Amino acid sequence: MIKARAGIAADPDTYELTDEELAELRPLVRPGRPKAEFPKVPITIRLSPEVLDFFKTDGPGWQTRIDAALRDWIKTHAIEHGQHAN
Protein backbone atom coordinates (compact mmCIF):
# COMPACT_ATOMS: atom_id res chain seq x y z
CA MET A 1 0.00 0.00 0.00
CA ILE A 2 2.82 2.39 0.84
CA LYS A 3 4.48 1.74 -2.54
CA ALA A 4 1.20 2.45 -4.30
CA ARG A 5 0.79 5.76 -2.48
CA ALA A 6 4.38 6.71 -3.27
CA GLY A 7 3.75 5.96 -6.94
CA ILE A 8 0.59 8.04 -6.93
CA ALA A 9 2.35 10.92 -5.17
CA ALA A 10 5.15 10.84 -7.76
CA ASP A 11 2.72 10.94 -10.70
CA PRO A 12 2.35 14.55 -11.91
CA ASP A 13 -1.12 13.79 -13.32
CA THR A 14 -2.62 12.85 -9.94
CA TYR A 15 -3.41 14.85 -6.86
CA GLU A 16 -5.43 14.55 -3.69
CA LEU A 17 -8.93 15.97 -4.01
CA THR A 18 -9.86 18.93 -1.85
CA ASP A 19 -12.88 18.86 0.46
CA GLU A 20 -14.72 21.08 -2.04
CA GLU A 21 -13.97 18.70 -4.91
CA LEU A 22 -15.06 15.71 -2.83
CA ALA A 23 -18.33 17.49 -1.97
CA GLU A 24 -19.08 17.97 -5.68
CA LEU A 25 -18.72 14.28 -6.56
CA ARG A 26 -21.91 12.51 -7.66
CA PRO A 27 -22.65 8.80 -8.05
CA LEU A 28 -22.02 7.34 -11.48
CA VAL A 29 -25.24 6.84 -13.44
CA ARG A 30 -24.86 4.14 -16.04
CA PRO A 31 -26.78 4.48 -19.32
CA GLY A 32 -29.47 2.03 -20.26
CA ARG A 33 -32.77 0.88 -18.96
CA PRO A 34 -33.37 0.26 -15.27
CA LYS A 35 -32.79 -3.17 -13.80
CA ALA A 36 -35.88 -5.37 -14.03
CA GLU A 37 -37.49 -6.56 -10.82
CA PHE A 38 -37.58 -10.08 -12.26
CA PRO A 39 -34.82 -10.24 -14.89
CA LYS A 40 -35.17 -12.76 -17.68
CA VAL A 41 -32.82 -15.72 -17.84
CA PRO A 42 -30.71 -16.21 -20.97
CA ILE A 43 -31.14 -19.70 -22.44
CA THR A 44 -30.60 -21.62 -25.64
CA ILE A 45 -33.67 -23.18 -27.22
CA ARG A 46 -34.21 -25.04 -30.47
CA LEU A 47 -37.33 -24.06 -32.41
CA SER A 48 -38.74 -25.31 -35.67
CA PRO A 49 -38.11 -22.92 -38.58
CA GLU A 50 -41.81 -22.14 -39.07
CA VAL A 51 -42.21 -21.15 -35.40
CA LEU A 52 -39.16 -18.90 -35.54
CA ASP A 53 -40.24 -17.36 -38.86
CA PHE A 54 -43.72 -16.67 -37.47
CA PHE A 55 -42.39 -14.70 -34.51
CA LYS A 56 -39.61 -12.94 -36.44
CA THR A 57 -41.99 -11.76 -39.20
CA ASP A 58 -43.03 -8.71 -37.18
CA GLY A 59 -39.42 -7.67 -36.61
CA PRO A 60 -37.68 -6.71 -33.37
CA GLY A 61 -39.27 -7.98 -30.19
CA TRP A 62 -39.72 -11.54 -31.43
CA GLN A 63 -38.20 -13.01 -28.26
CA THR A 64 -40.61 -10.96 -26.16
CA ARG A 65 -43.51 -12.26 -28.27
CA ILE A 66 -42.36 -15.85 -27.75
CA ASP A 67 -42.15 -15.16 -24.00
CA ALA A 68 -45.70 -13.73 -24.04
CA ALA A 69 -47.01 -16.76 -25.98
CA LEU A 70 -45.42 -19.13 -23.47
CA ARG A 71 -46.86 -17.14 -20.56
CA ASP A 72 -50.33 -17.40 -22.14
CA TRP A 73 -49.84 -21.15 -22.55
CA ILE A 74 -48.95 -21.42 -18.85
CA LYS A 75 -52.14 -19.55 -17.88
CA THR A 76 -54.29 -22.05 -19.78
CA HIS A 77 -52.38 -25.20 -18.82
CA ALA A 78 -51.07 -24.62 -15.28
CA ILE A 79 -54.07 -26.27 -13.60
CA GLU A 80 -53.59 -29.40 -15.74
CA HIS A 81 -50.10 -29.67 -14.28
CA GLY A 82 -51.19 -28.98 -10.71
CA GLN A 83 -49.60 -25.54 -10.64
CA HIS A 84 -50.89 -22.02 -10.19
CA ALA A 85 -50.36 -19.51 -12.97
CA ASN A 86 -48.65 -16.34 -11.68
Cα-to-chain-centroid distance, residue 43 = 14
Give the integer Cα–Cα distance in Å for 81 and 77. Answer: 7
Residue 1 has pLDDT above 70, yes or no: no
**pLDDT-derived band at 30, boundaries 50, 70, 90:** confident
pTM of this structure: 0.56
- Domain locations along the chain: 2-81
Write the single-letter amino acid at 38. F
Per-residue pLDDT reduced to its tens digit, 39-86: 999 999 999 999 999 999 999 999 999 999 999 999 988 877 777 666
DSSP helix, strand, coil percent of the chain (3-state; round to 5): 50, 0, 50
Instruction: Calculate mean pLDDT across residues 5-30.
Output: 85
Predicted pLDDT of residue 42: 94
Predicted pLDDT of residue 23: 94
